[in-house]
Amino acid sequence: MDRYTLAEVLRKHRTAGSVNAERIAVTFEGASLTYDELDVRSDRVAAGLRARGFAHGDRVGVLLYNRLEWLELFFAVAKLGGVVVPINYLLKRKEVEFILDDCQARWLVFEKALADVAPVDGSRRIVTIDTSVDGGIDYQELLSADADDAPRDAAKADDLVLLQYTSGTTGTPKGAMHTHSTVLWNSFHQIVDYEITAKDVYLIVPALCWAAGLHDIALATLWRGGRVVLSPSTGFEPTRLLATVQRERVTATLMVPTVLKRVLAEPTLGDYDTSSLRLIVSGGEPVPVTAIEDAQRKLPNCAVLQVYGMSEFPTMMSYLPAEDAVRKLGSAGRACSAAELRIVDDKGNDVPPGVVGEIICRSPANMIGYYNRPEATKAALAGGWLHTGDLATYDEEGYIFISGRAKDMIISGGLNVYPAEVERVLAQHDDVIEAAVVGKPDDKWGEVGDALVVVRPGATVTEDELLEHMRAELANYKIPKRITLTTEPLPRTTSGKVQKFRVKELLQS
């Protein structure tokens, strides 16, 4: 990827000998763009931005729901040698301001529906969609530019192209810096590992502003000449997803485990033709074996592939093939084709199988650092390896089992308790949707487990029954001393990660 940039992802389909120029590249709510149209329209946007003073390296905050313009803008900024800064539309205005100020954004693009959280204070250029502000630029004006005025070689492979802000589970968000090369390496390994072809139709379920939305197979599909189908960003409904799979003949998609379980539990699932679906990618937490078995029964032509990753390696540094899902229950799989993984102790030495250590990763897809955070970058990339902060073990076959975040580990009576292991066992119970385990002070043991368990509406399971369920799987010292049942979802960040500090607050109250 030394010379390749994101511009070539589209332009390769318009070169002599390509048959893809008139193929549909992306579809959204009945509207579509061919590869030719997506490339030309992004050229026009690039030309329009440059005519209005856009400079190489400019940072562009993108505050949009899923829509065709999101992808047009992404490729336009990439062609200019600029930097896309995706902003989660669920953030509050102050949080948006923090990201824009932190990355020193010179531009902000937003749509009418998100105007209330868009800071318009004169400190940066504004581009609007479906609305207008004083001194702002209408997106349609950019599209009126001549595509021939777009730059052809403004970007280089090692240019920064993406600032993917972390969720902020441990403090303020940090901008993970990615170049054209790191982004393309991530897409390349997906093409290899998941056998993406021009025949694939990939349905984007998450928002494009999340790493899981933009990086998980979407760019890989476009690179191969397949078709991307965008879902609306809000109001997820299993029936709408199933109708889209049937109508668009979707072959692959991504669903976090909670979404997957909702789809599999949909009473009308059998009424839809899902025979085209060959692959569901799922990550963020282990997929319960009950969900895997349910998927095998209800979606017999489809494999459920579990993945592990993060904003710093967006987003699949390891994966567990469907055929190993039951045999290696709870595993995050093995390293993808573009990554080398190790499990090390606090001195950086490799640990033997079965011993907990930190996952570190060496890959050309790794971020190059955190924007304007030299100390955090030095710690995260020490020795040329990405230090994930995630604890795990591995077995004799090299399969990784996540134990949890290092900061979440509970030390009870001098013994280490890894919440992820306990949560995984709780989630295997038929009445449990999800669970979070945190530590709380204890006079006798120093610290003990405290569990917040989300159960299905109408469930009759009791605390004693869940304790008995865990005793069959876990040593006594790992079992939480208290279980609190609820039907309310766990508190999460805007990108879907459980906020353990809020779980503690809820349990304390």
% the chain with pLDDT above 70: 98
Q: Which domain, by its residues, includes 482?
A: 409-508
In this structure, which amino acid lies at residue 63?
A: L
For every residue of 448-489, DSSP letters joined together read EEEEEEEE-TT----HHHHHHHHHTTS-GGGS-SEEEEESSP
pLDDT at position 105: 98
- pLDDT band, residue 64 (cuts 50/70/90): very high
Tell whether 392 and 430 lie within a shared domain: no
**Cα 366 to Cα 179: distance, rounded to the nearest angstrom:** 10
Considering the chain, what is the average pLDDT of its residues? 92
Tell me what the mean pLDDT of segment 206-211 comes to: 89
Q: What is the pLDDT of residues 233-243, one digit of tens each?
A: 888 899 999 99
Range of weakest confidence among 15-24, 339-348, 440-449? 15-24
**Cα 269 to Cα 469: distance, rounded to the nearest angstrom:** 30
* Crossing angle of the two packed helices 68-79 and 35-51, in degrees rounded to 10: 60
Range of weakest confidence among 103-107, 146-150, 270-274, 285-289? 285-289
* Final residue before a domain boundary, out of 387, 405, 423: 405
Q: Residue 252 above 70 pLDDT?
A: yes
pLDDT at position 192: 94
Q: What ranges make up the beta strands (E) of 215-278?
A: 227-230, 252-254
Q: How many domains does the chain have?
A: 3
* Final residue before a domain boundary, out of 405, 425, 455: 405
> Phi, psi at residue 325, to the nearest 5°?
-60, -40
% the chain with pLDDT above 90: 73
Q: With beta carbons less than 8 A apart as the criterion, state whether 98 and 173 touch.
A: yes
Predicted structure pTM score: 0.86
Tell whether 370 and 274 lie within a shared domain: yes
Determine, yes or no, domain membership for 196.
no
pLDDT at position 495: 64
Instruction: List the structure tokens of 264.
Output: 């599999």
Q: H/E/C letters for each residue in 214-231?
A: HCCCHHHHHHHCCEEEEC
Tell whether 466 and 367 lie within a shared domain: no
**Cα 415 to Cα 405: distance, rounded to the nearest angstrom:** 16
> Phi, psi at residue 178, to the nearest 5°?
-130, 140
Hey, is 467 helix, strand or coil? Answer: helix
Tell whether 356 and 255 lie within a shared domain: yes
Question: ∠ CA(414), CA(423), CA(387), 5° rounding?
Answer: 70
Tell whether 240 and 374 lie within a shared domain: yes
Tell me what the mean pLDDT of segment 30-37 comes to: 97
- pLDDT band, residue 70 (cuts 50/70/90): very high
Q: What is the pLDDT of residues 439-475, one digit of tens each?
A: 998 888 888 999 999 999 899 999 999 999 999 888 8
Q: Residue 490 above 80 pLDDT?
A: yes
**Cα 15 to Cα 27: distance, rounded to the nearest angstrom:** 22
Radius of gyration of the chain (CA): 23
Determine, yes or no, domain membership for 452.
yes
CATH code (residue 460): 3.30.300.30
Tell whether 399 and 418 lie within a shared domain: no
CATH code (residue 351): 3.40.50.12780
Tell whether 270 and 356 lie within a shared domain: yes
Determine, yes or no, domain membership for 221.
no
Tell whether 396 and 444 lie within a shared domain: no
Determine, yes or no, domain membership for 429.
yes
Determine, yes or no, domain membership for 197.
no
pLDDT at position 170: 52
Tell whether 265 and 326 lie within a shared domain: yes
Q: Residue 171 above 70 pLDDT?
A: no
* Final residue before a domain boundary, out of 358, 389, 405: 405
Tell whether 485 and 453 lie within a shared domain: yes
Q: What is the pLDDT of residues 253-293, one digit of tens each?
A: 999 887 898 899 999 999 999 999 999 999 877 777 788 88
**Cα 370 to Cα 178: distance, rounded to the nearest angstrom:** 9
Determine, yes or no, domain membership for 187.
no
- pLDDT band, residue 91 (cuts 50/70/90): confident
End-to-end Cα spacing for the chain: 52
- Spell out the residues 6+ positions from residue 404 whose beta carbon is closer than 8 angstroms to its own: 390, 391, 418, 419, 420, 421
**Cα 176 to Cα 166: distance, rounded to the nearest angstrom:** 7
pLDDT at position 275: 97
CATH code (residue 143): 3.40.50.980
Range of weakest confidence among 224-238, 461-475, 484-498? 484-498
Q: With beta carbons less than 8 A apart as the criterion, state whether 41 and 48 touch.
A: no
Q: What is the pLDDT of residues 404-435, one digit of tens each?
A: 777 788 988 878 888 988 998 999 999 999 99
Tell whether 61 and 173 lie within a shared domain: yes
**Cα 184 to Cα 180: distance, rounded to the nearest angstrom:** 6
Tell whether 292 and 380 lie within a shared domain: yes
Determine, yes or no, domain membership for 209.
no
Determine, yes or no, domain membership for 227.
no
